[in-house]
Amino acid sequence: MPGLAFAQYGSTAPQTPTGQQAPQLDTQTIDRFVDAFVAVQEVREEYSEQLSAVEDAAAAETLEQEAQMAMVEAVENQGMSVDQYNQVAMQVQHDPEMVRQIQEMAQERMQ
C-alpha cells in the first residue's frame, strides 16, 4: 500500500492465517495505528539518512537491525503490538477510503 510502512524495515506485513477474521477497526485502534505509523516513519527517516552514509556491509546490516528494533519499540510505545499493527495495516489496505483517511491523519501529525 503506497505511503504506509510496516514495523519491519523494508518488508511487508505478514499474512493473516487463513480463516482468522480480521478485528473490527474502532476509532481508538485507528488512532493508535496512525500514531504508530508516524513514529515508524520518523524512525525510518532517521535510519535511512544514517544508512545512506554507511559503506561497510556489516555496519549497514547492524544499522538495519537497530532500525528494526527501533520501529518495533515505536509501535509498542503507541500501545500496539507489531502483530496488531501489521493486522491493521493488512486490513486497511483493502479499503481505499480508509487508506486515504489514515494518510491524511498521519500527514497532519507529521507537521
CA distance 62 to 8: 14
9, pLDDT greater than 70: no
Report the candidate in 45, 18, 36 with the shortest Cα–Cα distance to residue 78: 36
CA distance 64 to 40: 13
pLDDT for residue 86: 93
Angle at alpha carbon of residue 23, lines to 19 and 24, rounded to 5°: 135
Residue 70 CB neighbours (<10 A): 19
**C-alpha count within 13 angstroms, C-beta hemisphere, residue 13:** 22
18, pLDDT greater than 80: no
Reported as a single tens digit per residue, the pLDDT across 59-111 is 999 999 999 999 999 999 999 999 999 999 999 988 899 999 999 999 999 87
Mean pLDDT of the chain: 82
Between residues 28 and 3, the one the model is more confident about: 28
19, pLDDT greater than 80: no
